[in-house]
Amino acid sequence: MAPLAAYSSRRVARSIIYEMEPQRVKIIEAYRDWKPEVSVLSSVVRLVESVPSRYLSGLDSVVLTNATALNHSMRPRKVRSQGKTVRLARCRGLYHRAWHGNEAYIELFIDNILPRKLTFAQKLSSRVHFVIDLILAGVVFHEIGHHIHTTHVPRFEEREDAAERWSRELLVAYFRKRYWYLRGPVLSAVRLVGHLLAKREQRQITHQRDPAVNT
């Protein structure tokens, strides 16, 4: 099912379409009975825009939503990653490959990415671009890594390993270019965070969804 059709019954908070020649990618916010305590849209736009456009070809959209909006039949559904089975409701991100004429798209479950309850200090720090970018970058780049591996640079390696490798490369490149004035120990810390985020993706809940279960 195409992403816009899948979310037609939800309360769409906001949507934005931006051009990346020759590619056009939609960034869509579609939350139901929930909204994040901090704004994440501009950060996701920055992160996606940093990816070379040739790697985004064939990617229709990135949907920002909440896992609690999944209907009752979807919540207990399980997906497999790295030989493990987890509930769909626990995922932080999903990559949907192109299927039956529909282009590929990504879902980001923001309520599973952000802390459940932000303290005042967390809310304040999340208004700093660097901080919110760091929170979201691992998941965003991991899912884009799935797209790159699936459609542009296929290699003979396990798909989660490939996504993690691309995630690390894109994350370091992004922070090196955007926050060029943060050198030395800060950039080393970003590399370390990228490595830790990638390992977390491998162990936990960011998965590439099998097209056979698309609804």
Give the number of domains in the chain: 1
For residue 130, CA distances in Å to 2, 171, 175, 211 come to 32, 12, 9, 34
Look up the pTM and report it. 0.78
The answer to whether residues 147 and 116 touch, using CB atoms and an 8 Å cutoff, is no
pLDDT at 213: 38
DSSP for 20-59 reads ETTEEEEEEE--SS---SS--HHHHHHHHHTS-HHHHTTE
CA distance 135 to 187: 15
Range of the domain at 52: 3-213
Per-residue pLDDT of the chain (215 residues; tens, 9 = 90+): 555 555 544 555 555 555 555 668 899 998 888 888 888 999 999 999 999 999 999 999 999 999 988 887 787 788 765 556 778 888 889 999 998 889 999 999 999 998 766 665 566 666 678 888 988 999 999 999 999 999 988 776 788 888 889 999 999 999 989 987 776 666 566 556 555 554 554 454 444 454 433 33
What pLDDT, on the 0 to 100 scale, is given for residue 144?
96
What's residue 70's pLDDT?
A: 83
The pLDDT, as a whole number, for residue 200 is 52
Task: To the nearest 10°, report the CA torsion of 15, 19, 23, 26.
Answer: 0
Encoded amino acid at 82, one letter: Q
